[in-house]
Structure 1
């Protein structure tokens, strides 16, 4: 059963409700009385009509932050946020062919096109409320890859892995971890069959390497609805689901929103 953010624990700040893991890569969901104003490190955050808001911290975010607010009656408050520094797995692999390190020239045009398609899919910030409900795992299976890990190929640091991987056979169902609107269902060079789901307030789930997609752009899905099946499309070495979470351009760890799994 989904749990509303408003029902979660209130902070010592009284008027503020705050839900999130105090570590790098975490999504925070908060609420203040409607009509309040709130800033993170001096930057204004968007609140919806119920006074709910979100913010998040990147993989290498600074560890100390300040959340400040002004209530409708003019009362002000603040809370210091201290994050735990995470240790990431760095793997070094040498002796690879150059084609395995960098994509060939003929594919670069498609990669740029894909990047534009994905950016456009995440371009609008909606007022959907699903982001403020509890999330569930989108697939059954063991965790085979974690957020923040990185490979150094032939001495060249590659982009960190920004998702959590669930290993399972091709055809294993993939479901929506929370309700939302499908913003993209397309075949991309790196990620293969890919679905992007808007949960609201600039928070999006992305599901990579699907064998099949069961949704199209514009579809509205409830938590637990089927959105596709696990596969190995795109640049994948075997069947698995790569689940990613974005707040705008900030890449967050989706595993922090669901119960631990090994």
Structure 2
């Protein structure tokens, strides 16, 4: 705890120091990824470094790798500060590239999932709270740093960030990607992780949430069957569920989400291949 507190103070002083900001030596850390709104950024620094994002300490692997996310509508720069094991440091600001999001009309949804009846309001609140709490975990996983595999084959039927009009009613943005495929199509873990949630929710239907480490989590909605339980460890490529049409859905598909803590991200920007395989 003392180390973390000292680092916060040191990182802030580094960022504010005119001498530090004007030095000409090369920066010794790198940040990669699409570096746009709603994307996961991956960083690397010398082993043993300490890293902060806007003064907040980040989890760093033994070999110096770390991750953070840009919000889907973020316009401000994110300041990454690194304190190296030899006592030096660097600080750089990263501004995400802007994106344009589509407007998508979805008709045929069960009306009780678009305008839920009052008797299910408390259930929806409890389920949202469970998801929020699951996304607070900051564990030491790192397999996701090599990129995610697509969790299922299918047609890409829904994109991240689209402004949804559900049964003619404006709804929340679509913070995930959809893969349309027949009911029963296997869903595979896209990277190693721990199951934090495996449950049946009112809006999400059959849902599984995986904790991949460093605040990075993914979720799998509308499953016809869940094949793993909370607390289990899963490996990349392991079968975790089957595609379905439970919850708020018009037909069988997988809704796949990616988060960095509570920051919603586009999983299609972090995959090894640009599109899922065909069914």
Pair 1:32 & 2:45 matched: yes
The CA RMSD over aligned residues, in Å, is: 2.5
Deviations 1:36-77 (A, max 9, x none): 232333443332333222110111011533322221222222
Maintained 8 Å contact 1:89/1:148 = yes
SS in 1 for 2:224: strand
Question: 2:33 maps to which residue?
Answer: 20
* 1:1-262 → structure 2 map (5 Å cutoff): 15-91=28-104, 101-152=114-165, 157-258=170-271, 259-261=273-275
Count of residue correspondences: 250
Note the C-alpha offset of 1:247. 0.9
Deviations 1:115-159 (A, max 9, x none): 122223333211122232221100011100000001246986421
SS in 1 for 2:28: coil
Note the C-alpha offset of 1:98. 8.2
Maintained 8 Å contact 1:13/1:79 = no
TM-score with structure 2 length normalisation? 0.81
Please list every run of 5 or more consecutive structure 2 residues that lacks an aligned counterpart in the other structure. 1-24
Flag the structure with higher helix content: 2
Cα–Cα, structure 1 residues 91 and 166, in superposed 2: closer, same or farther, change >3 Å? closer
Question: Of the two, which has the highest radius of gyration?
Answer: 2
SS in 1 for 2:178: strand
Deviates further, 118-127 or 18-27: 118-127
TM-score with structure 1 length normalisation? 0.86
Maintained 8 Å contact 2:33/2:40 = yes
Cα–Cα, structure 1 residues 72 and 25, in superposed 2: closer, same or farther, change >3 Å? same
Deviates further, 147-156 or 229-238: 147-156
Cα–Cα, structure 1 residues 13 and 66, in superposed 2: closer, same or farther, change >3 Å? farther
